[in-house]
C-alpha cells in the first residue's frame, strides 16, 4: 500500500510539473489533426515528457488513444500519469510479452481507436524501430502517423533515450505527419522508411542552426 501511495503521489506531482512547464511555453502546432480513421501513432521514447499535450490538440474527440506501455518497473508510473491526461493504456510491449500486447492493440484498432507506440521503447536501442509496430500496421492494414516535438531550450537526461524536458518559457513545436502507408514494404524496408521519416521530422523543426 505504501508503494501504491508513493506512485500515486509522484504521478500527481509530475502531472502538475508538466502543466506548469507547458503553460509557460509558446506552442506551435504543425500538421493535420487526426480524423475518424484508426492510426498507429509513433514517437520516440525520449519525447515522452510533454507528449500528452499533443493529443489534447491533435486528437479526434470521438476516438480514444491507447498508449502501449510495457510491464517494466516504470510502466505503472507512466500509465497513471497519462491517465490523468485522459489517455488509455495497453500493457505490454512489442518486444517482451508481444503477443498479448498485439492482441490488445488489434482490438483497439477494430474499435476505430488509435494505438500509440514508442518504437524504441521501453529500453532501446536508441532511435530504433520495433518489429511489432510494423507488424501491427501491416496485419490490420492501417496507416501510421508520426508525432514529435522540439524545444528551443531543454534539459537532456543522461538516459538511454536521451529524454528531453523543455525548460519553462521556451518555444515548442509539435508536429503530426501525414498518414504513411507501409503495406507494400517488407519488414526491413518498412523499418528503414519509418526511421528516416522520424529523423526527418526532427530536423524539420529543429532549433539548431
Residue 4 or residue 107, greater confidence: 107
Mean residue pLDDT across the chain: 92
Say if residue 1's pLDDT is above 60: no
**What confidence score (pLDDT) does residue 97 get?**
54
| Cα separation, 207 vs 185, whole angstroms | 33
Q: For 151-185, how does the pLDDT look when each residue is reduced to its tens digit (9 = 90+)?
A: 999 999 999 999 999 999 999 999 999 999 999 99
**What confidence score (pLDDT) does residue 98 get?**
65
**What confidence score (pLDDT) does residue 121 get?**
79
**What confidence score (pLDDT) does residue 124 get?**
86
**What confidence score (pLDDT) does residue 66 get?**
96
Say if residue 196's pLDDT is above 80: yes
**What confidence score (pLDDT) does residue 10 get?**
93
Contacting residues for 63 by C-beta, under 8 A, at least 6 apart: 34, 36, 38, 112, 113, 114
Contacting residues for 204 by C-beta, under 8 A, at least 6 apart: 175
Q: Are 37 and 138 a contacting pair, CB within 8 Å?
A: no
| Cα separation, 197 vs 178, whole angstroms | 11
Confidence of residue 209 (pLDDT cuts 50, 70, 90): low
Q: Are 47 and 149 a contacting pair, CB within 8 Å?
A: yes
> 58-85 burial, b for 16+ CB within 10 Å, e for fewer?
bbbeebebbbbbbeeeebbbbbbbbeeb
Say if residue 134's pLDDT is above 90: yes
Contacting residues for 91 by C-beta, under 8 A, at least 6 apart: 69, 70, 71, 75, 79, 101, 104
**What confidence score (pLDDT) does residue 91 get?**
85
> What is the average pLDDT across 112-119?
96
> 190-204 burial, b for 16+ CB within 10 Å, e for fewer?
bbebbeebbeebbee
Q: For 45-97, how does the pLDDT look when each residue is reduced to its tens digit (9 = 90+)?
A: 999 999 999 999 999 989 999 999 987 767 888 999 999 999 999 987 655 55
Q: Are 151 and 164 a contacting pair, CB within 8 Å?
A: yes
Amino acid at each position: 500500500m505504501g508503494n501504491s501511495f508513493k506512485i500515486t503521489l509522484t504521478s500527481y506531482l509530475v502531472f502538475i510539473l508538466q502543466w506548469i512547464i507547458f503553460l509557460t511555453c509558446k506552442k506551435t502546432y504543425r500538421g493535420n489533426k487526426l480524423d475518424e480513421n484508426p492510426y498507429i501513432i509513433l514517437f520516440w521514447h525520449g519525447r515522452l515528457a510533454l507528449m500528452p499535450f499533443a493529443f489534447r490538440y491533435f486528437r479526434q474527440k470521438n476516438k480514444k488513444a491507447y498508449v502501449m506501455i510495457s510491464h517494466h518497473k516504470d510502466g505503472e508510473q507512466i500509465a497513471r500519469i497519462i491517465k490523468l491526461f485522459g489517455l488509455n493504456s495497453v500493457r505490454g510491449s512489442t518486444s517482451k510479452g508481444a503477443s498479448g500486447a498485439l492482441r490488445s492493440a488489434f482490438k483497439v484498432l477494430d474499435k476505430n481507436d488509435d494505438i500509440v507506440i514508442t518504437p524504441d521503447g521501453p529500453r532501446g536501442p536508441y532511435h530504433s524501430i520495433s518489429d511489432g509496430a510494423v507488424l501491427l500496421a501491416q496485419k490490420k492494414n492501417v496507416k501510421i502517423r508520426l508525432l514529435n516535438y522540439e524545444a528551443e531550450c531543454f534539459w537532456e537526461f543522461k538516459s538511454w533515450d536521451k529524454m528531453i524536458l523543455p525548460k519553462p518559457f521556451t518555444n515548442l513545436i509539435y508536429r503530426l505527419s501525414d498518414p504513411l502507408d507501409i503495406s507494400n514494404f517488407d519488414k526491413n524496408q518498412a523499418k528503414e522508411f519509418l526511421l528516416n521519416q522520424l529523423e526527418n521530422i526532427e530536423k524539420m523543426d529543429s532549433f539548431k542552426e
